[in-house]
Structure 1
Amino acid sequence: MKWLRNREIRKLLCIMLLITMAAVVITHAFLPIAAVAAGAGCLLLDILFLIFVRRQYRLLSALGDYLRRVNDGEYALELPDNEEGELSILKSEIYKVTVSLNERSEQLKRDKLQLADALSDISHQFKTPLTSMSVMTELLEDSQLDEDRRNEFTAQLQMQLKRLTWLTNALLKISRLDAEAVSFRSTPVPLSRLIDKAIDPIRISMELKEQTVSVQAGEGTLSCDENWTAEALTNILKNCTEHTPAGGELHIFASSNVLFTEIKVRDGGPGIDKADLPYLFERFYKGKNSADNSVGIGLAMAKAIVEAQGGTLGAKNALEGGAEFILRFPKK
């Protein structure tokens, strides 16, 4: 009877016995027969109270054991209870906390695995160009190296440095998006201006490949952060130019209705392999048709930017051929 070890219960039991004895003495002074009935009634109430206390103590003991097991990491435990009362409410709240702890624990495990994978991918992305740069640096130290080869290695070094700079900036931006440290300044932006701003950084590379872009934007506007949204759209366009052959054409369609504003970008490439579609926006994922110098982070960053502003970004194979990316922003 562990519950009798509780000091408060023992004190309460003593008070109840004193009340019982007082009731017997008082009733005996007036009517001896009534004293027997009063004593029996009080004892019955005492017994019923002790049964109730014993039951409640068992439930509290079970809750204590439950919490100890949860503290040991057994989050899969259940605590069913269909009864009413303050103790039942307490059990219900404890169960909710347990479920929440379990979800957080699983999320932490997933985050830990994702962090390990991300670190592995990042180290690989840096290791390849750094190794190449180290080799070219050693070659440049050769005094007998002819001028043409020296210029070639210097140009390759500059290209690798630009790639590392872009990768570093992209990773910093994604980390800020993950930490929700970016303050988006939403203003109405004309769709035509937003698209032109997104195209500007890739105009030269498109001209070198003799690619063209067809834009149908209309007079609508999009309420968004102009700089960040333009960067997201630039990353999508950059992906499209990489998969569109020389002399090909890109198509951009933008429209707005009472529910949402939509921007569609379609390239002139072979389309997206079905096996790549589920993973297209994952960081460092490189599909079967990816370019050799592709990092696999541009689309992931574009999706993070769009979703941080309440929008969605998806991809599919267009009926006309090629890959089609769809940005959709609901009206606020």
Structure 2
Amino acid sequence: MSGHKNTGILISFVLAVGLLSASFTAVLMTSHYNRAQFQLLNGICRSIIDELPEAETVIPAILKDYKNKTAVPEEKSILATYGYRQSDFSKAAPNYGIIFAAAGFLFGGGLFLAAFRHMRRKEMLRIKSLTDYLENVNTGGNGLHLREEEDEFSKLQDEIYKTVTFAYQTRDAALTARQNFAENLANIAHQLKTPITAIHLSLQMMDCPSGKENISQIRRQLERLTHLEEALLLLSRLDAGTLPFEKKEADVFTILTLAADNLQEVLSHAGVSVDIPEGKPARITVDMDWTMEAIMNLLKNCMEHTPAGGVIHCSYEQNPLYTQIIIRDEGEGFAKEDLPHLFERFFRGQNAKSGGIGIGLSLAKELIESQNGTIHAKNNPDSGACFEIRFYSH
């Protein structure tokens, strides 16, 4: 749009200059010929008076009378009867009309060429600036800054800027993914090293009187490896976007109750109970099984930090925008410096219990966020940790 606008302005400018030049030339030519005719008539009158002095009193009256009359037709012209033509009386004045016309044409043409050259030079400078910008990007320079201009190249500039910005974002995402991949491999290797070492030590002690205890230790380590393998497989499917979610409308109270029931054995062993008061009906559209898996991970985390005899409190409420679920415990809460990292994979906070692998909260977060939800962790004002989950309606 700006290119057509600039072209229209240029054409209008050239036409205006051309019309001004033509008008100026016409004024000069009219003034020149009027002066030439006046001088010719003045010379004729002077010559008549010199030859006939008595005509001095007659000529002014004739001129005044002639001024009020229309022009005499060519066939009735007295000069024509004497064999004179109009061109015979213009020889005394040089033919400046052609000169003026040529000057106007040259001036207008020169101005047009100057405007065209200026426009062409401006286009070349814009092309050069965009080329330098792309060269700077290709050589690894800072290519995100591009001076904005409104001309026929504006759309091209916008598209180049979008492409470069997307390329930078893609590159940053690839570097971040590569770094995360390396960190995950290191974490996995570290997590596998501990149970494998324990298994080797237990096997070496099988011949001791405490062999049964070693067998139990091997079983626990194998269960830990199995849990780690299942969690890593689930996370990899979430990362690849291949985990199927069968979303259906489900009751929030039912999800919380079933999640607590599935953990009843470990909760009883830890001496911790779960309080889920039934409130107003609240329904969310989620995959019930995977949502229960996320809730169970949060309940297990609260259980590990709740002293024996303590209670894990669950509550929920619904409004037109989202359904909120609150899960809080009666433990010591999160360390302040751990809060920004709680949902990172393999992160273990200062108050983490032994035997964990630091993947439960990360898994819960990804399962919830994959179903149009959010989760935040904070400390209660009095004591204990709190998880705030929101499933949005749209």
Report the TM-score range of the alignment, normalised by the length of the smaller protein: 0.7 to 0.9
Alpha-carbon separation, structure 1, partners of 2:274 and 2:103: 104
Q: Is this contact kept in 1: 2:270–2:308, CA < 8 A? A: yes
Deviates more, 1:64-73 or 1:290-299: 64-73
Is the Cα–Cα contact under 8 Å of residues 311 and 330 in structure 1 kept in the other structure? yes
1:131-164 CA distance string (max 9 Å, x none): 1112222333x4xx22xx1111111111111111
Asked whether 1:232 is paired with 2:290, we answer: no
2:212 alignment counterpart: 151
Which one is further off, 39-48 or 294-303?
A: 39-48
TM-score w.r.t. length of structure 2:
0.70
Structure-1 separation of matches of 2:142 and 2:180 = 22
The CA distance in 2 between the partners of 1:240 and 1:111, in whole Å, is: 31
Farther off after superposition, 224-233 or 175-184: 175-184
The answer to whether the aligner puts 1:70 opposite 2:131 as a matched pair is no
How do residues 111-260 of structure 1 correspond to structure 2 at under 5 angstroms?
111-140=177-206, 142=207, 145-146=208-209, 149-218=210-279, 219-260=281-322
Q: Contact 2:134 / 2:143 at 8 angstroms: preserved in 1?
A: no
Aligned partner of residue 216 in structure 1, secondary structure: coil
Q: Report the equivalent of 1:81.
A: 148
In 2, the alpha carbon distance for the partners of 1:55 and 1:266 equals 66
Distance 1:138 1:80, change over 3 A: same
How far did residue 44 of structure 1 move? 4.1
1:276 aligns with 2:338: yes
Q: Which residue of the other structure, out of 149, 154, 162, is the alignment partner of 1:96?
A: 162
Q: 1:131 to 1:222 in 2, by over 3 A?
A: same
Secondary structure of the residue that 1:227 maps to in structure 2?
helix
C-alpha deviation, 1:230, in angstroms: 0.4
Question: Secondary structure of 2:386's partner?
Answer: strand
Give the TM-score taking structure 1 as reference length.
0.82
Q: Tell me how far 1:182 sits from its aligned partner.
A: 2.4
Give, in angstroms, the shift of residue 166 of structure 1.
Answer: 0.8
Shift in Å, 1:239? 0.6
Instruction: Give CA-to-partner distance per residue, 1:272-329, whole Å, 9 cap, x none.
Output: 1112112111111111110111111101111111111111111222234211111111
Bigger CA drift: 285-294 or 179-188?
179-188
User: Which AA in structure 2 matches 1:94?
Assistant: I
Show structure 1 runs of 4+ deviating over 4 A. 31-37
Aligned to 1:298: 360
Which residue identity does 1:188 align to in structure 2? E
Q: What's the offset of the Cα at 1:35?
A: 5.2
Quick check: 202-211 or 70-79, which moved more?
70-79
For residues 76-107 of structure 1, give each alpha carbon's deviation from its aligned partner in whole angstroms, at most 9, with x where no partner exists: 4522123x222122223222322222232223
Distance, in Å, in 2 between the alignment partners of 1:327 and 1:250 is 15
2:237–2:243 Cα contact (<8 Å) kept: yes
Write out aligned runs for 1:19-98 (5 A): 33=99, 34=101, 37-39=104-106, 41-82=108-149, 84-98=150-164
- Higher alpha-carbon Rg: 2
Q: How many residues align?
A: 296
Q: Note the C-alpha offset of 1:37.
A: 4.7
Q: Which amino acid aligns with 1:173?
A: L
Whole-Å separation in 2 of the counterparts to 1:278 and 1:77: 30
SS at match of 2:307: coil
Structure 1 unaligned regions, length at least 5: 1-30
Maintained 8 Å contact 2:257/2:276: no
Letter in 1 for 2:270: K
Q: Which residue of 2 is the match for residue 285 of structure 1?
A: 347
SS state of the match for residue 323, structure 2? strand
For residues 169-225 of structure 1, what are the alpha-carbon distances to aligned partners after superposition, in whole Å with 9 as ceiling and x for unaligned? 111111222222223222121222211221233211111122222111333322211
Q: Residue 222 and residue 78 in structure 1: after superposition, are their counterparts in 2 closer, same or farther (change >3 A)?
A: closer
